Amino acid sequence: MEQKSNSLLIITDSSPESFSPAGERIRHLALAGGSKFSKVMVLALKRSQRERNPEGNENTKVFLYSVKFSRVVPFPFSVFFDPVKMLMLLIHGLVLYSRIKPSHVLASMPPLETGMSAWIIAKIKRVPLVVDLRDDWESAANVQLKRFFPQSVLAILSAISRRIYSSASVVFAVTQTIAETMQKRNIKTEVLLVPNGADAAVFVPKALKTRRETRREHALPSERIVVVYCGSGINPYYRLDLALSSFKILSEEFERKIFFVLYVYNGIEGLRKLQDKLGISRNLVEIRNPLPRNQLSEVLAACDIGLVPFDAKEYLLCARSTKIYEYLSSGLYVVCSGPEGSELDALLSSNAKLGTFVLPTRENFVEAFKFVSENDFLLGEDMRALRHSFIRENYDRQYIMRKAMDALFGNVPSA
C-alpha cells in the first residue's frame, strides 16, 4: 500500500500571494496547517509559474506551487464551468501528490473546478477530502446564469457540488448561514464553522502622531475624515457604482470634511471612467492600485471609516467580507450595506459601536457618512481600541485557523 506522509495539499483558484480575500484566507489556512503537518503545499492558478512559500522564508513548511494559466472562457461559461481549468488543477494536483503523497487534500470553494479536481484526487488516492466553503456560490451562480441556461442545466452544478460535499470528511463553513444552508440541502457531512477574521497582531490601531505621518507618506489629507475601500473593482455584488454616486450628491460642506480612497486589485480603469462620467473630483475620491501587505495595515490604521458596499441580493445573506474584520481590527468604524437580515446586518445591529448597516442606496450611503461626520466621537481613540479588542477576542484569524486545524485532526483521521 502507498505510504502517505503527514502533509496537506490545498487546491485553490486564488493565490495566497494575491490581494483577494480568498487568497488571504488560504494564506492563513496554509500557515496554520504548518503547525500540524510536516509539509503544506498550496496549488494555485496564476499567470506566472514559480514555486515558493507564501512568506518568503525557505525554511518554512508551507510552499506555493502556481500554475501558469491565463486562459479564461467567456461569460457566462466562466461562471458555470471551465473544463480546461479543472484539468489543469487535476493534472498539477496529481503531480504534486506524487511528490509529497499528502495525508489530506483541501479544496477552497468556489469555484467548482477546485472542488472537482480535489475530489477526484482524493477519490483516486483514497485520502480524506476537506472542503473550505467560502460562500453560497451555487445561489449566486443561479442568479447570474438563469438568463443564459435552463434550470435543468443549472441543476447539474448543484448535483456535482452535493456529491463533492457529501464525499468530504468535513466542510469548513465561513458563516453560520452557510452551515445552515448545507443542512437545508440535506448534506450529511459534518460542517464546522470557520469564520473569516483579521490578524489582530498585524491590524492594530495606531497613535494619532503615527496616523498623521502615515497620511503624509501616502498622500492622504490630514484634516479630513478618510473613508477607505479595499477589494475588487469589478465583482458585481460590490455596489461601488452606488457608493460613487453617493459621493456625488454629498453637500459641499461634507465634501470638505470627507475624503474617499479606493484601493482596488482589478477593474481600476472602469471605476475611473465611472468617476469621470459622474463628474466626481479627484479631490474628493481617489481610486488607487492595491497595497502590499506590509503597507496595508499601516494605511488602514491611518483611515477612519471602512466601506463594505454589498448588494441586497438574497444570496449575500451569508456574506461577511474579510475586509470588515481588518477594518475593525485596525480601529475603523465601518459602513456596510447588504440584504436585510444578513450576516452583516446581524453583526452591526447588535454592536452599534462597530459601525452602521444600511440597505444599498446612494441616499443611505450619504446619510451614513453624514452621521459619522456629525458624531466624531465614534472615531476617537477609545472607540478604535474597543473595535480592535472586539476582533482580538472574537475573530483573531491566527487563533481561528489553528482551531480549524485542530478540528481537522480531531475529526478527520489520515488515510
Residue 333 maps to a domain: yes
What is the pLDDT, as a whole number, of residue 74?
Answer: 64
* Mean pLDDT of all residues in 179-204: 90
Checking if the pLDDT of 55 tops 60, the result is no
- Pairing type for strands 333-337 and 355-358 reads parallel
What is the pLDDT, as a whole number, of residue 71?
Answer: 62
DSSP H or E stretch at residue 191? strand 191-193
| Pairwise CA distance, residues 335 & 364, whole Å | 10
Quickly list H helices, 174-230. Answer: 176-184, 208-217
Cis peptide bond prior to 111, omega within 30° of 0:
yes
Residue 343 maps to a domain: yes
- Give percent of the chain with pLDDT exceeding 90: 47
* Mean pLDDT of all residues in 26-46: 88
Same domain, 123 and 35: yes
Across 125-166, the runs of DSSP E, i.e. the strands, are: 129-133
Same domain, 20 and 128: yes
With residues binned 3-state (H G I as helix, E B as strand, rest as coil), the percentages for the chain, rounded to 5, are: 45, 20, 35
In sequence order, what DSSP letters do the residues of 264-315 get, joined into one string? ESS-HHHHHHHHHHHT--TTTEEEEPPPPHHHHHHHHHH-SEEEEEB---GG
Q: Which three cell numbers stand for residue 144?
A: 447570474
Checking if the pLDDT of 413 tops 80, the result is no
CATH number at residue 376: 3.40.50.2000
Same domain, 267 and 281: yes
**Cα 141 to Cα 137, 146, 157, 235, distances in angstroms:** 6, 8, 9, 13
Residues 6+ apart with CB under 8 A from 257: 224, 225, 373
For 295, phi then psi, to 5°, come to -110, -25
* Mean pLDDT of all residues in 173-188: 88
Same domain, 147 and 107: yes
| Pairwise CA distance, residues 176 & 318, whole Å | 8
Residue 189 maps to a domain: yes
Checking if the pLDDT of 211 tops 90, the result is yes
What is the pLDDT, as a whole number, of residue 224?
Answer: 93
User: Which is higher by pLDDT, 346 or 147?
Assistant: 346
pTM above 0.95, yes or no: no
Same domain, 129 and 237: no
What is the pLDDT, as a whole number, of residue 58?
Answer: 46
Residue 1 maps to a domain: no
The alpha carbon dihedral of 11, 395, 402, 204 has a sign of positive
Checking if the pLDDT of 138 tops 80, the result is no
Checking if the pLDDT of 255 tops 90, the result is no
| 24-60 CB burial, b ≥16 within 10 A, e <16 | bbbbbbbbbbbebbebbbbbbbbeeeeeebbeeeeeb
Same domain, 374 and 347: yes
* Mean pLDDT of all residues in 284-312: 92
Give the model confidence (pLDDT) of 344-363 as tens digits: 999 998 888 999 999 999 99
Residue 44 maps to a domain: yes
What is the pLDDT, as a whole number, of residue 145?
Answer: 67
DSSP H or E stretch at residue 97? helix 83-100
Number of domains the chain contains? 2
What is the pLDDT, as a whole number, of residue 70?
Answer: 64
The closest of 36, 49, 44 to 15, measured between CA atoms, is 44
DSSP 136: -
Same domain, 174 and 36: yes
Same domain, 380 and 406: no
Q: Please tell me the least confidently modeled range out of 6-15, 76-85, 230-239.
A: 76-85
| Pairwise CA distance, residues 192 & 407, whole Å | 8
> Left if phi > 0, otherwise alpha if psi is -120 to 50, otherwise beta: which for 285?
beta
Same domain, 403 and 376: no
What is the pLDDT, as a whole number, of residue 192?
Answer: 92
The closest of 345, 347, 351, 353 to 377, measured between CA atoms, is 353
Measured in whole angstroms, how far is the alpha carbon of residue 235 from the centre of its chain?
12
* Mean pLDDT of all residues in 317-324: 86
Residue 75 maps to a domain: yes
Residues counted in the chain:
415
Checking if the pLDDT of 53 tops 50, the result is no
Same domain, 217 and 189: no
What is the pLDDT, as a whole number, of residue 1?
Answer: 45
Q: Please tell me the least confidently modeled range out of 175-179, 193-197, 290-294.
A: 290-294
Q: SS3 for 102?
A: coil
Q: Which three cell numbers stand for residue 316?
A: 449575500
Same domain, 56 and 166: yes
Q: Please tell me the least confidently modeled range out of 7-21, 27-41, 61-75, 215-229.
A: 61-75
Q: Please tell me the least confidently modeled range out of 8-22, 220-234, 366-380.
A: 8-22
Same domain, 219 and 148: no
Domain membership of residue 228 as a residue range: 208-394
Q: SS3 for 42?
A: strand
Residue 2 maps to a domain: no
Residue 203 maps to a domain: no
What is the pLDDT, as a whole number, of residue 265?
Answer: 86
**Is residue 322 a contact partner of residue 329, using CB atoms and an 8 Å limit?**
no
The closest of 410, 401, 411, 402 to 24, measured between CA atoms, is 401
Q: SS3 for 362?
A: helix
Across 39-88, the runs of DSSP E, i.e. the strands, are: 39-46, 51-52, 62-68
What is the pLDDT, as a whole number, of residue 15?
Answer: 85
Torsion on CA atoms 235, 237, 239, 241, rounded to nearest 10: 50
Residue 350's CB is within 10 A of a number of other CB atoms, namely 8
